[in-house]
Every structure is written in structure tokens, then in C-alpha cells.
Amino acid sequence: MAQNNLAEAFPASKPVKRRIPDLKEGTIHKAKSVVIPKSLPFSKFEKILMTFCGIILTGLMIVVVSGKITLSSAQHELSSTQSQVTKVSADNSNLKQEVNQLSSRTRLNKIAKQYGLSLTTQNIRNVNK
């Protein structure tokens, strides 16, 4: 379907020229009264509603800030605990290695020879915890 040319070309309208009165001495101009719209006062319900919303907003801000502080202290505590766990784990590993070195068969034989002791395999029993 072909489009209709609903919009017709109109000649451009001429700009309206307004006459600006000359302000000469001695001429009196009438002042025009301008109506300034007055803002409506808030009703009691609106005041109570704004106060209530302000109190709730303030409470929520306090809750958010205290939550962030609590989260920050919990993260600090967690990192401190993790560093302690890492330290204790390293200490345990070192102590296990030391126990294995001190209880090695070659070391025990060396100490036994130093004190004149002998090792009989019939008298050895393995005890596990």
C-alpha cells in the first residue's frame, strides 16, 4: 500500500515581531500582576510518614555499617586463626620429622653400641598407639 502524503508542505510562518516599548523618562507603565503559585503545606500524615521513613532509613544505615564492621573483624580473626593453624601445622611436621630421626634404627643401634648393649630380635615387639 502506498503511503499517503498526509503532511503537506506549508509555507514557513513569518516570525512575529513584538514591539518593545521605549523606556523614556516620564512614561508610566502599568505593572502586571503575576500570580505566584504557593506550595502546599505538608499534612500531618505526610510529616509522620516522612519521619517514620527517616527513622527506618537511619536504622538501616546503622545496621549496614555495623554489619560491615562485624564482617571486617571476623575476616581479621579468620586470617589470624589461619596463620596460627599454618604455624602449628609446620611445627607438627617438624616435630614428626624429629621423632622419626630420633627413633631411627641406625641411631638406636649406634647408642646401644656406645653403652655396650646388644640387640636381640627375639625380644623386640612393635607397639602401636
Q: Which residues of 3-12 are buried (b: 16+ CB within 10 A; e: fewer)?
A: eeeeeeeeee
With 80 as the cut, is the pLDDT of residue 24 above it?
no
What's the pLDDT at 8? Answer: 59
Report pLDDT digits (tens) over 40-87: 888 999 999 999 999 999 999 999 999 999 999 999 999 999 999 999
Burial class (CB in 10 A: 0-12, 13-18, 19+), 35: exposed
What's the pLDDT at 29? Answer: 59
Residue 86 one-letter amino acid: T
Residues 6+ apart with CB under 8 A from 50: 42
| Sequence spans of domains, the chain | 48-122
